[in-house]
A and B are shown apart, each in its own frame.
Chain A
C-alpha cells in the first residue's frame, strides 16, 4: 500500500499550460508549480486541483474540455508532453493517471493544433468541423416503419465486428492533433467505413463518401501521408485499414456515381 511504492507518494509538479483569453487573442505557455498530487488522480483531477488553487488566489482557472471522464464521450483532449492524450497508448486524457508521471516532472499541456480546430480559450478547441463533416453524410436515412425481426438482414460476424470497430471512434480529434498534416482522414474514414460495410449504409454509400470528403477538404484539414501517427495515438485504436477502405470507396464512388 502507500509507502511501499515510491510512486505512491504525493508528487510535486511543474505545469506549463497554454493560456489564451479567447479566439482572437494571442496565447502563451504559463508555468504553474503544483504540489502534493496523488498518483491515483486522473490527469483531469490534477487540473481540477490546479484550478481550485487558482480560484483561491483569485486567478482565472484553466479552461479545458471534459465530460464523462470514463473514456467514452470523446470530449477531453490535451496535447501532453508532446503526445495526444499523453504518453500512454490507447488512453484518453481522462483515463490517464498521474502514476504515469514522476515526482519533479515538468508537464507541458497544449491544445490540439489545427487550422480547422481554432482555440476557443486556453486548452479548449472548436471541433465543430467534425460535426459538419458528419452532417455532410455520416448517417443513414431511413423511413422507420415497424420493428423488423432480429437478424432479418444477415450480416456476417466478421463484417459486423469491423463495422463496430470503426464505430468505436469517439470523435475526440487526437488523430488530427497527432498528424503532422493535421489530417482528419482517420476520423472521416471511421465514419465512412462503419456505414459502408453494412447493408443499411450501402444504399447511400457513394454520395456519403463524396460529400464527407468534400466537407473534410472545405474545413481545411491536411492530406494523408500514411505516417500512421493517427492510429498510434487513437485512444480507441481505430485502424488505418479504414483509411484504405475510404480511399477505395471514394475512388469507386467518383468513378461510378451519377453526381457530376
Chain B
C-alpha cells in the first residue's frame, strides 16, 4: 500500500472519510428538504412537478447525483469496515456493563440508526426515484413534465409508508444529533470558541431537518384529499 491508501485505511483515516461524507450528506439533506417544501404550495403539485423535472434533467444536478451516490457508498462501506473492526476489538464482552453512565444512546447506536436510515432510503428510492427516473409516470396535460406529485399523494395515503417515514426521520434525527458534532471532532476541528456553537447548531439542525421531512407525509396523510 502507498501512503495514501495506508492513511485512509487506518482507523483515523476511515473516521475522516466518515466525517467528510457525513457532512456532505448533511448538505444533501438541506437541498432535498428545501426542494420538498414545494409540496406545501397549494397549487395541485405544479411547483413540485416543475422542481422534480428540473432535478431529473439539469446536467449539474445529474453530475452531483453521481457524487452523492459515491458519498453514500463510502459512508456505508467505511461504517461496515469500522463496525467489523470494532466488534473484533472486544471478542469477550462484560457480564455487567452500564454504558448509559458514560455516553449517550445515540452515540453507541450509530450503526443501528444508520441501518434504519438505509432501509428507509431503499424504500424511498423505490417509491419515488425509480418511477420518476425510469419513467412509468403519467404526464401532466399541456406540460412537459410528469406528475410525480400524484405519486406523493398516493404513497402518503398509505399509513404503513407514513409510519415508516416518521420512524425513519426520528432515527435520522438521533443519527445526526451525534453525527454532526462528532464529524467535527473526528476532523480535529475543535476550538473553545466554536465547538459549543457547533454542538448547539448540530442539535437544532438535526431536529429541524428531520422534523421538516417528517411533516410532509403527515401533512399529506391528514390534510390533503385526493
Contacts and interface: CB of A to CB of B under 8 A. Distances in A.
Contacts of A221: 11, 89
A222 B11 contact: yes
A227 B108 CA distance: 6
A246 B7 CA distance: 14
B93 interface: yes
B15 interface: yes
Contacts of B99: 178, 180, 227, 229
Interface residues of A, number: 50
B95 to A, nearest CB: 6
Contact of A181 (B89, B182, B187, B190): B89
User: What is the predominant secondary structure among interface residues of chain A facing chain B?
Assistant: mixed
A181 B96 contact: no
A120 interface: no
Interface string A238-260: 00110111111111001000011
Residue with the greatest number of chain B CB neighbours at <10 A, chosen from A225, A249, A254: A225
Interface in B97-129: 97-99, 101-104, 107-108, 110
Contacts of A259: 3
Interface string A165-203: 000000000000010111101000000000000000000
A254 B7 contact: yes
B107 A227 contact: yes
A224 B190 CA distance: 16
A114 B88 CA distance: 9
B145 to A, nearest CB: 44
B90 A114 contact: yes
B9 to A, nearest CB: 9
B102 to A, nearest CB: 4
Given A217-B10, A247-B186, A229 B102 contact: yes
A132 to B, nearest CB: 16
A233 interface: yes
Interface residues of B, number: 41
B34 interface: no
A178 B91 CA distance: 14
B90 A232 contact: no
B10 A224 contact: no
Interface stretch (A36-44, A77-85, A144-152): A77-85
A138 to B, nearest CB: 16
Given A223-B11, A223-B82, A228-B104, 15 more contacts: A81-B96, A115-B90, A180-B86, A180-B99, A181-B89, A182-B86, A213-B11, A225-B86, A226-B182, A232-B103, A246-B12, A247-B187, A248-B187, A251-B16, A251-B187
28 contacts: A18-B95, A81-B96, A113-B92, A115-B88, A115-B90, A180-B99, A181-B85, A182-B89, A182-B90, A213-B11, A217-B11, A220-B89, A222-B86, A222-B90, A224-B11, A226-B107, A226-B181, A226-B185, A227-B99, A232-B103, A233-B102, A244-B190, A247-B185, A248-B187, A250-B12, A251-B12, A260-B2, A260-B3
